[in-house]
Homo-oligomer: A and B are copies of this chain.
Amino acid sequence: MISEAVQDYLKTIYKLQEDTGVVSTSALAEAMEVAAASVTGMVKKLASLKLVRHHPYQGVVLSKAGEKMALEVIRHHRLLELYLAEALGYSWDKVHEEAERLEHVISEEFEEKIFEALGRPTRDPHGDPIPAKDGTVVAAEHDRLSDLEPGATGVIRQVSDSDAEVLRYLGTRGLVPNAPVEVLEKAPFNGPVTVKTRETSHVLGRDLAQHIRVETRPEDET
């Protein structure tokens, strides 16, 4: 069986790969909160298991098999997040931490049961796509709110789930997936972005606005 450590490495490599293509030892070490030397050791193991390709000093890339396993874990994680929110009434800033532990221990039957109970969903509470069983993922990369210009309108599609504080803040302000937004102002020198949602308007620091992804030409709106 594949250990939890291996699962976490694969998941993390997958996510880093989305941004940067090839993943460096130091990036992986930082994301895993582990010493760089430990990463080198694990990367060798992953390579010997044919889960990654490793070119020493150059970084690491998931193999087909590694990507499949990564997606499997991510599927568990996101289904769990949604289940915790929908079925157990978790607030959206707490689901991540709980899912982080559960994702490694649920059976395929459990996965299947919650998938059906949720009506075969495709998005987690933060708007991230839930990989399908066959390894398909909807790509759909949207613009960061921080990159939009005044006048732009659209619908929030994703909110980064990495920081619980941020989620709590945005949640109370209604800045959640499927909320419509309009950019009113964007102050220069990395200044705040002013956005209007249904009724109220909000002034968000540029860092915060980076966490929000907006679909500017909404095809459908919920």
Contact = CB atoms under 8 A, between A and B. Distances in A.
Contacts of A84: 110
Interface in A80-94: 84, 87-90, 94
Contacts of A113: 88-90
A177 B102 CA distance: 30
Contacts of A107: 97-98
Interface secondary structure of A, over-half rule: helix
Interface residues of A, number: 19
A113 B113 CA distance: 19
B106 A94 contact: no
Most chain B CB within 10 A, of A97, A105, A114, is at A105
Contacts of A187: none
22 contacts: A84-B110, A87-B87, A88-B110, A88-B113, A88-B114, A88-B117, A89-B113, A90-B109, A90-B113, A94-B109, A97-B107, A98-B106, A98-B107, A98-B109, A98-B110, A101-B105, A101-B106, A102-B102, A102-B105, A102-B106, A104-B105, A105-B105
A92 to B, nearest CB: 14
